[in-house]
Amino acid sequence: MDEKEVWDFLIIGGGAAGLTAAQYGARAGLKTAVIETASAGGQALLINDLENYPGLFPTVSGFDFSSAMEKQAKAFGAAFYTANVVSIDKKNGVFYVSAENETFLSKTLLLATGASHKKLDIPGEAELAGRGVSYCASCDGPFFRNKVVTVIGGGDAACDEARYLSTIASKVYLVHRRGELRAQAGVAQKVVENPKITLMLNQSPVRINGNGRVESVLLKNTLTGEETEHKTDAVFIFVGMIPQTSLVEFIKKDSAGYVVTDENMQTSIPGLFCAGDVRSKPFRQVVTAAADGAYAAYGAENYIRNMG
């Protein structure tokens, strides 16, 4: 790409937020490009059955959903690049986005980098990663067909992944440190009613044991302090997310590290927008990420129009 080429709307991240923004931006006539480190789709790629996106019924896989969004954005004229962005700067009203081998210039910029899985940071987790410790049920679940698996967490993601694993494993244990699940009521109820899932509440993992592969996890009762060894073939960890904000340490964030924006997704830096799981908001779903992306494209279009 010619380094002197200036985009209207440059998007870092190709998840639901970035793909929606690309579609809306290109459709509005903005010269739009998306930079993604790997395959477009983000966290949606990990969803086996996307069942709560309005209008998509019966369910579709996250992969098929993301592929369709990418094709749609390309059909409207959005360009896609595979690169690893290392820094962002703004000079004379233009954003300079530096990747390893090239620099992208743009009038507006959207950060849609999402969030990564939080780790337990307990003994055995790192040592047995890829040997029974996993953060993606749809990726690694098939390796444990007809075996006993344990899911750590109590939110929507943990419950959804436990349900998916129940279609593969012989038995699923869901371990949560509190006395009740914190997932949405409808999601939690499906777990409770699933005969292949056993809840282990008021339990916190202390150590993951195994010689070359996961064999058990040491659990501590959060009420009594009693420790018990729980036999399992795999441990799937879903205990929250960490916003990916290393590129924008200079902008305003909330107490949890998520980027603060206005209602049009603009950050504390004019022309720099943020959308999706990396943004500060009370509810993170595929549909809210898509809405963020649409607002961001709208905001970018207005920003460019008012540049004079």
The structure tokens listed for 259 are: 């980027």
Q: Which of 49, 89, 140, 156 is catalytic?
A: 140
Q: Measuring CA to CA, how many Å separate 125 from each of 133, 143, 213? A: 7, 18, 11
Integer Cα distance of 2 and 131 in angstroms: 44
Q: Which of 64, 89, 136, 233 is catalytic?
A: 136
Active site residue 136: yes
How many other CB atoms sit within 10 Å of the CB of residue 126? 12
Active site residue 140: yes
Integer Cα distance of 284 and 225 in angstroms: 33
Active site residue 292: no
Q: Which residues are catalytic?
A: 136, 139-140
